[in-house]
């Protein structure tokens, strides 16, 4: 089960956005697996995508369509990633766009396709296109909750949140959904996520804000070190509220967007495949933020650290070893101090005189664990969020295609 994470009970509609979820029978039985999102004309849409060289066909198509058109529809399927599918996969993604464009009376370039699921299987285009009329007929501004469930794969909990922010005394709404539990690691966003707002904001400003927010949220999480072929994060601004977010209102809007993205990012880690512990790794005293992130990622990716924490074993030598092998030039261990929760482990490179095994054991028994590392070489800092490795992680991934 997810660590201290509950599925949302309500979400706020965003004016100018309608959603529909239907059962296309792509892979799962008796559940919705196709999501359609309709945007009001004039909406601005920005995105960031995976940097995986084997990126999926829909990622290629989305990048192209975002350059050439103003999206009216987003089409998302679960159960099939349409990745590693070659030219046929590209044709399939484009055909889905063309079929939806014909029914929705827009250009094919105004459709953005997204897929998540098993890699290496051809997309069942006929199942998707057959479900499009039903999806168009069901479009509703209150479709967010079902949408959050529709995009799930190995997720155990739907991930979604709404926030409202005051800009010059007027209310702006932001609602977002995400999916992701495994194949999670920074190199963009490591999942699928869709965030909408009714704010009126220029496209280039929205893209800049998104890029900055991603670096503080989705690029700070890892479950297993694998970056997906399909990672996509989309932010849609309809402008329907009429509230213009310019330079003066931007800080408040950006903070609200950051809160939405941080919640979704941490929700992915809390629902990491087989996770029983939520772990934050705070690295401070680094020469640069890049350096701090490198240390945090090394600790977060250590299977030995993750399995020890799953077992509630205060084997802090594993943390020490991970810090020591971090890709940081001329790391001086005599400057390093490490805490596990409130318990001091290492002080200036030496074992802490106050440490006792029972103190470390108490920290590792918590379902939320904090590791703090001070490198003693600068003022930069960064936080990485991860989870433990349990028996279930292996089971889930061993049986994923069965």
Last residue of some domain: 235, 270, 305?
270
Q: Residue 221 in 3-state DSSP? A: strand
CB burial of residue 105 (10 Å; 0-12, 13-18, 19+): exposed
CATH at residue 30: 3.60.70.12
Take residue 277 and report the two structure tokens written for it: 């512990």
CA 333, 339, 345: angle at the middle one, nearest 5?
65
Please report the sign of the dihedral spanned by the C-alpha atoms of residue 149, residue 150, residue 155, residue 160. negative
284 and 163 belong to one structural domain: no
Predicted pLDDT at 250: 96
How confident is the model at residue 188, as a pLDDT?
Answer: 53
Same domain, 311 and 364: yes
Asked whether residue 8 is domain-assigned, the answer is no
Query: Residue 60 pairs with which residues in a beta bridge?
Result: none
Same domain, 258 and 300: no
Q: What is the pLDDT of residue 223?
A: 84
Give the CATH number, domain containing residue 356: 3.10.20.340
Q: Is residue 4 part of a domain?
A: no
Residue 187 has a pLDDT of: 62
Other CB atoms within 10 Å distance of the CB of residue 181: 28
Are 309 and 359 within one domain?
yes
Burial environment of residue 370 by CB neighbours within 10 A (0 to 12, 13 to 18, 19 or more): middle
Residue with tokens 């599918």: 85
Do 288 and 244 share a structural domain? no
Whether 59 and 232 have beta carbons less than 8 Å apart is answered as yes
- Which residue stretches of 167-249 are H helix? 203-216
* Residue 6 resides in a domain: no
- Asked whether residue 167 falls in the same domain as residue 58, the answer is yes
Residue 399 CB contacts under 8 Å (≥ 6 apart), including other chains: none
**What's the CA gap between 334 and 243, in Å, rounded?**
54
Angle between helices 125-138 and 86-104 (to 10 degrees): 30
Residues 284, 262, single domain; the answer is: no
- Residue 11 domain-assigned? no
* Residue 260: both structure tokens together: 């939405």
Please report the pLDDT score of residue 59 as a whole number.
95
Q: Are strands 368-374 and 278-286 parallel, antiparallel or unpaired?
A: parallel
Catalytic residue among 50, 150, 190, 276: 190
Q: Are residues 282 and 266 in the same domain?
A: no
Catalytic residue list contains 129? no
Per-residue pLDDT of the chain (402 residues; tens, 9 = 90+): 799 999 999 999 999 999 999 999 998 888 999 999 999 999 999 999 988 888 999 999 999 999 987 999 999 999 999 999 999 999 999 999 999 999 999 999 999 999 998 899 999 999 999 999 999 999 999 999 999 999 998 899 999 999 999 998 999 999 999 998 776 776 654 579 999 999 999 999 999 999 999 999 999 999 887 777 888 999 999 999 999 998 889 999 999 999 999 999 999 999 988 899 999 999 999 999 999 999 999 999 999 999 999 999 999 999 999 999 999 999 999 999 999 999 999 999 999 999 999 999 999 999 999 999 999 999 999 999 999 999 988 887 887 665
pTM attached to this predicted model: 0.95
Do the Cβ atoms of 223 and 272 come closer than 8 Å? Answer: yes
How many distinct structural domains can be found in the chain? 2
Pairwise CA distance, residues 151 & 192, whole Å: 8
Q: Among candidates 197, 208, 201, which has minimal Cα distance to 246?
A: 201
Same domain, 224 and 92: yes
Q: Could you tell me if 80 and 187 lie in one domain? A: yes
CB of 175 within 8 A of CB of 144?
A: yes
Kindly write down the DSSP assignment for every residue of 63-105, as one continuous string: HHHHHH----EEEEEEEE---S-HHHHHHHHHHHHHHHHHHHT
What secondary structure letter does DSSP report for 390?
-
- Is 220 within 8 Å of 383 (Cβ atoms)? yes
Rounded CA gap, 151 and 147, in Å?
7
Task: Say if residue 216 is in the same domain as residue 331.
Answer: no
Per DSSP (E only), the strands in 168-306 are 170-179, 192-197, 232-237, 278-286
Q: For residue 380, what are the domain limits?
A: 278-398
Helix, strand, or coil here: 277?
coil
If asked whether residues 160 and 306 sit together in one domain, one would say: no
CB 280 within 8 A of CB 3: no
Q: Residues in the chain, how many? A: 402
Report the C-alpha gap between 340 and 372 in whole angstroms: 7
């Amino acid at each position: 089960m997810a660590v201290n994470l509950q599925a949302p009970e309500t979400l706020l509609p965003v004016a100018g956005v309608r959603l529909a979820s239907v059962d296309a029978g792509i892979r799962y039985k008796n559940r919705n697996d196709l999501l359609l999102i309709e945007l009001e004309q004039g909406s601005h849409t920005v995105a960031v995508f995976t940097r995986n060289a084997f990126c999926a066909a829909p990622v290629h198509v989305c990048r192209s369509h975002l350059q050439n058109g103003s999206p009216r529809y987003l089409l998302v399927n679960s159960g099939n990633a349409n990745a590693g599918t070659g030219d046929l996969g590209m044709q399939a993604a484009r055909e889905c766009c063309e079929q939806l464009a014909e029914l929705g009376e827009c250009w094919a370039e105004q459709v953005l396709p997204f897929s998540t699921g098993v890699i290496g299987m051809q997309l069942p285009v006929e199942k998707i296109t057959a479900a499009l009329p039903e999806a168009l007929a069901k479009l509703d501004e209150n479709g967010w909750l079902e949408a959050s469930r529709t995009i799930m794969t190995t997720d155990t909990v739907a991930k979604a949140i709404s926030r409202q922010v005051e800009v010059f005394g007027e209310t702006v709404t932001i609602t977002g959904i995400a999916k992701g539990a495994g194949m999670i690691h920074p190199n963009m966003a490591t999942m699928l996520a869709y965030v909408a707002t009714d704010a009126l904001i220029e496209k280039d400003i929205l893209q800049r804000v998104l890029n900055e927010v991603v670096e503080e949220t989705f690029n700070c999480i890892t479950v297993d070190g694998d970056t997906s072929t399909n990672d996509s994060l989309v932010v849609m601004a309809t402008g329907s509220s009429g509230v213009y977010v310019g330079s003066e209102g931007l800080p408040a809007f950006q903070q609200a967007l950051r809160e939405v993205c941080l919640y979704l990012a941490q929700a992915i880690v809390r629902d990491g495949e087989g996770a029983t512990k939520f772990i934050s790794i705070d690295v401070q005293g680094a020469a640069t933020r890049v350096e701090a992130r490198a240390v945090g990622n090394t600790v977060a990716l250590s299977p030995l650290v993750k399995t020890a924490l799953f077992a509630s074993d205060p084997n802090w030598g594993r943390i020490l070893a991970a810090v020591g092998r971090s890709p940081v030039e001329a790391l001086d261990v005599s400057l390093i101090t490490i805490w596990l929760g409130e318990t001091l482990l290492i002080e200036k490179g030496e074992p802490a005189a106050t440490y006792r095994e029972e103190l470390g054991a108490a920290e590792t028994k918590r379902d939320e664990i904090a590791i703090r590392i001070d490198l003693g070489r600068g003022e930069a800092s960064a936080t990485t969020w991860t989870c433990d490795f349990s028996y279930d992680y292996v089971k889930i991934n061993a049986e994923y295609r069965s």
